[in-house]
Amino acid sequence: QSALTQPPSASGSPGQSVTISCTGTSSDVGNYNYVSWYQQHPGKAPKLMIYEVSKRPSGVPDRFSGSKSGNTASLTVSGLQAEDEADYYCSSYAGSNNLVFGGGTRLTVL
Amino acid sequence: QVQLQESGPGLVKPSETLSLTCAVSGYSISSGYYWGWIRQPPGKGLEWIGSIYHSGSAYYSPSLKSRVTISVDTSKNQFSLNLSSVTAADTAVYYCARRLQVTRAFDIWGQGTMVTVSS
Within chain A, strands assigned E span: 9-12, 18-23, 35-40, 47-50, 64-69, 72-77, 86-93, 99-101, 105-109
Q: What is the DSSP string of chain B?
A: --EEEEES-SEE-TTS-EEEEEEEESS-GGGS-EEEEEEE-TTS--EEEEEEETTS-EEE-TTTTTTEEEEEETTTTEEEEEE-S--GGG-EEEEEEEE-TTT--EEEE---EEEEE--
Considering only CB atoms, which chain B residues are within 8 Å of A34? 102-105
Q: Rounded mean pLDDT of A28-43?
A: 97
Tens-binned pLDDT, residue by residue, of chain B (119 aa): 999 999 999 999 999 999 999 999 999 998 889 999 999 999 999 999 999 998 889 999 999 999 999 999 999 999 999 999 999 999 999 999 999 888 889 999 999 999 999 99
- Considering only CB atoms, B106 lies closest to which of A48, A52, A55, namely A48
pLDDT at B101: 82
Q: How far is A42 from chain B (nearest CA, A)?
A: 10
Strands A35-40 and A86-93: antiparallel
- Considering only CB atoms, B59 lies closest to which of A34, A45, A97, namely A97
B95 CB near a chain A CB, below 8 Å?
yes
Average pLDDT value over all residues in chain A = 96
The answer to whether B99 and B105 are in contact (CB under 8 A) is yes
Considering only CB atoms, which chain B residues are within 8 Å of A9? none
pLDDT at B32: 84
pLDDT at A49: 98
B61 CB near a chain A CB, below 8 Å?
yes
pLDDT at B99: 93
pLDDT at A2: 75
